[in-house]
C-alpha cells in the first residue's frame, strides 16, 4: 500500500500520437509510485483540464495539432509553477531545446528512448533534477563550453552588487549545472536540500531567470561559472 506520507506523483500528459501516448501511459502505469490523472490529445484539452486538475508533472509533446507545444509549456509554467514540465518529443534540434527550456520546461527527453526512461525522468524531476536525453545533454554542454564572455558594457545593465554571485552561490549553481540533484548537492556541501533551494532562489533573483537551465546559461554568458 502506498504510504500517506509518500503520496503518488500525479502525472498528466498531452500527446496526439496514439502509439506514443500508449507508450507513455504504459511507463506510468508500470511504476506504482506514479498515477496518471489525465491524458489529453490536444493542447486546448490540456489547458482546459489543468484549470481544475493541475498535476505534479505534465508531459508535453511539442508537435501538437492545435496549439504549439511551446505555448503549452509557457502557459503552464506561468499559471502552475508547482507543476514540473517534461517535454517528450521527436524534435532534438538546438532551437527547440533552448526554446522549451527557456519557456519553463524542467526536462527534455527524445521519443524513442527506453520506456522506463519516462518514469525515471519523472522521478528525477521530483527530486530536483533536470532529465535530458544524452543527445540533448551534449547540446547543453556544448553550448555552455562555447559560451562567450559578456559583451562590453553588459554589466552596466544591472547593479554589480545585486547581480554578483557569492562564492557559495556559484558553487551550488556549478554543481547543479553538472547534473547533481538537490540532495546530492546538499550532501556535497554539508547542508540541507532546503538550503540548496534557498541558494538557487537567490541565484535566480540575481540573474533574473526562472529555471536552473536559464541560470546556468546566464551565469556562463556573464563568465560567472
Q: In this structure, what C-alpha cell is assigned to residue 146?
A: 562555447
Cell numbers at 85, concatenated: 514540465
CA distance 130 to 97: 13
Residues 68-126 pLDDT 10s: 999 999 999 999 988 999 999 998 888 888 889 888 998 999 987 766 789 999 998 88
The verdict on pTM exceeding 0.85 is no
The C-alpha atoms of residue 88 and residue 42 are separated, in whole angstroms, by 15
Tell me the CATH number for domain 9-141: 3.40.50.2300
Per domain, the residue ranges of the chain are 9-141, 149-221
Which has more confidence, 68 or 134?
Answer: 68
Pick the CATH number of 149-221 from 3.10.110.10, 1.10.10.10, 3.40.50.720, 3.40.50.300: 1.10.10.10
149-221 matches 9-141 in CATH topology: no
Amino acid at each position: 500500500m502506498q504510504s500517506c506520507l509518500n503520496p503518488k506523483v500525479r502525472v498528466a500528459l498531452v500527446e496526439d500520437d496514439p502509439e506514443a501516448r500508449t507508450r507513455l501511459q504504459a511507463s506510468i502505469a508500470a511504476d506504482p509510485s506514479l498515477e496518471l490523472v489525465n491524458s489529453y490529445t490536444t493542447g486546448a484539452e490540456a489547458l482546459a483540464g489543468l484549470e481544475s486538475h493541475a498535476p505534479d508533472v505534465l508531459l508535453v509533446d511539442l508537435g501538437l495539432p492545435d496549439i504549439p507545444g511551446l505555448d503549452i509549456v509557457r502557459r503552464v509554467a506561468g499559471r502552475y509553477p508547482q507543476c514540473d514540465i517534461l517535454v517528450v518529443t521527436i524534435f532534438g534540434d538546438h532551437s527547440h531545446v533552448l526554446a522549451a527550456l527557456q519557456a519553463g520546461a524542467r526536462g527534455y527527453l527524445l521519443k524513442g528512448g527506453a520506456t522506463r526512461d519516462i518514469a525515471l525522468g519523472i522521478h528525477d524531476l521530483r527530486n530536483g533534477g533536470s532529465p535530458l536525453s544524452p543527445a540533448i545533454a551534449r547540446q547543453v554542454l556544448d553550448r555552455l563550453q562555447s559560451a562567450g564572455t559578456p559583451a562590453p558594457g553588459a554589466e552596466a545593465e544591472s547593479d554589480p552588487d545585486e547581480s554578483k554571485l557569492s562564492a557559495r552561490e556559484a558553487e551550488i549553481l556549478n554543481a547543479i549545472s553538472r547534473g547533481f540533484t538537490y540532495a546530492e548537492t546538499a550532501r556535497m556541501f554539508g547542508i540541507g536540500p532546503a538550503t540548496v533551494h534557498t541558494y538557487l532562489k537567490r541565484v535566480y533573483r540575481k540573474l533574473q531567470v526562472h529555471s536552473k537551465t536559464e541560470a546556468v546559461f546566464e551565469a556562463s554568458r556573464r563568465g560567472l561559472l
